[in-house]
Amino acid sequence: MAGNNSENKKINPYISFVVAARNDNYGGNFLYRVQIFVNSLLTLWEKYSLNSELIIVEWNPPSNAKKLSEVLIWPKCLKPGQVRFIEVPNEIHKKFSNSDRMPMFEYIAKNVGIRRAKGEYVLATNPDLLFNEELIKFFSTEKLSTNCFYRLNRYDLKKIVPFDTSIEEQLDFCEKNWVGVCTIKGSFVRGHWLQNLRTRLFMLAFESKGRLTRDYRFKIYAAASGDFFLMVNSQWQKLRGYPESKTQSFIDGYICFKAASSGLSQIILNNEKRIYHQYHERFESSKRPLTNYQLYKKHIKQMMKENSPLILNDENWGLGDVILKDTDYKL
């Protein structure tokens, strides 16, 4: 039996990376950005021998376009079991309220992947990011704690990352060309010290008036958590993932406070470990229904005051009562 347990540890991934996507050219140049994401991620997994899986939840695939599993090109280092595609068809999507206004429910889609993840830890992230070498190298040490949740700063790009170059050169390009950074203290523009000072003073003024509900008042880093939120798989299951709201704003912030109020400690990884966000337009998002901010604020205060997470989903969260097409991608 001991031998079987050891074998299972080798087979099961250490980290499941979960993203949601559809081939609708979201933000422009979408396939280009996703291709850079998968090329970089899998190449670094290979370089640092990181035992991981990538789960791409393809939500409501457009009928007039090929599926992502059909158009993405995979590096030769791809191994069996490293990439899974889980498809949520239009017949399921259109059952949700606001389905006519939102072609994808990002966080319900991520819940689909999180619920079915095989990794010891699960990282909910997005498919237009680049992870730097220090971050993947850190993951490969397998020193994450089950008692913590992990966040880090996001570095934003304006220039397009070159495609026909090495991963090392792409990351060097990102390091030289990032224009802004999102942190627990606010978002700051590279080289604009006066504007950054104004941002800092503005945030402090909000804090003094008790209007902040995330970063300052509770010392929780909730901004841009949709791009990077990592914790042990068992805790994701216990908390039942993200609230399955049929809106688009603040949902990522909920998971930070659910984790903190459940007793997990927040770890913000140091600046040597980075994610770079590839630039895209956001005009489609402006037409989508927003989450009720006052209700969000009320829920946050309740969770942090009572030290108890608010579980808003039922036992079928992540479409747990639905059999979905779940395919291991192979070269």
Render pLDDT for 122-164 as a digit per residue (tens, 0 to 9): 999 999 999 999 999 999 999 999 999 999 999 999 999 999 9
At 50, which amino acid appears?
Answer: L
The answer to whether residue 117 scores a pLDDT higher than 80 is yes
Burial of 249 (0-12, 13-18, 19+ CB in 10 A): middle
The CATH code belonging to domain 2-315 is 3.90.550.10
Q: Which long-range contacts link 309-312 to residues 24+ away (Cβ below 8 Å)?
A: 309/239, 309/257, 309/258, 309/259, 309/261, 309/262, 310/254, 310/258, 310/261, 311/239, 311/240, 311/258, 312/240, 312/243, 312/244, 312/254
Centroid of chain to Cα 227: 4
Whole-number pLDDT of residue 187: 76
Structure tokens of 280? 């895209």
The answer to whether residue 203 scores a pLDDT higher than 90 is no
Residue 330: pLDDT band (50, 70, 90) is confident
Bridge partner residues of 275 (DSSP):
131, 154
CA–CA separation, 278 vs 35, rounded Å?
Answer: 12
Whole-number pLDDT of residue 213: 44
Burial per residue of 201-239, b for 16 or more beta-carbon CB atoms within 10 angstroms, e otherwise:
eebeebeeeeebbbbbebebbbbbbbbbbbbbbebbeeb
Residue 218: pLDDT band (50, 70, 90) is confident
At 110, which amino acid appears?
Answer: K
Q: How far is CA 245 from CA 108, 254, 256, in A?
A: 8, 11, 16
The answer to whether residue 196 scores a pLDDT higher than 50 is no
Whole-number pLDDT of residue 102: 94
pTM of the model: 0.90
CA–CA separation, 152 vs 221, rounded Å?
Answer: 9
Q: Report the candidate in 82, 19, 53, 17 with the shortest Cα–Cα distance to residue 230.
A: 17
Strand, coil or helix: what is 83? strand
The answer to whether residue 278 scores a pLDDT higher than 90 is yes
Residue 287: pLDDT band (50, 70, 90) is confident
Structure tokens of 24? 């609708």
Q: Which helix (H) or strand (E) holds 61?
A: none
Q: Which helix (H) or strand (E) holds 222?
A: none
The answer to whether residue 2 scores a pLDDT higher than 60 is no
Question: Which range has the worst mean pLDDT, 28-32, 113-117, 182-186, 229-233?
Answer: 182-186
Residue 198: pLDDT band (50, 70, 90) is low
| pLDDT tens by residue, 166-181 | 999 999 999 999 999 9
- Domain boundaries along the sequence of the chain: 2-315
Structure tokens of 52? 């991981």
CA–CA separation, 228 vs 274, rounded Å?
Answer: 10
Percent of the chain topping pLDDT 70: 87
The answer to whether residue 275 scores a pLDDT higher than 70 is yes
Whole-number pLDDT of residue 202: 53
CA–CA separation, 243 vs 214, rounded Å?
Answer: 17
Q: How far is CA 258 from CA 12, 241, 307, in A?
A: 26, 9, 9
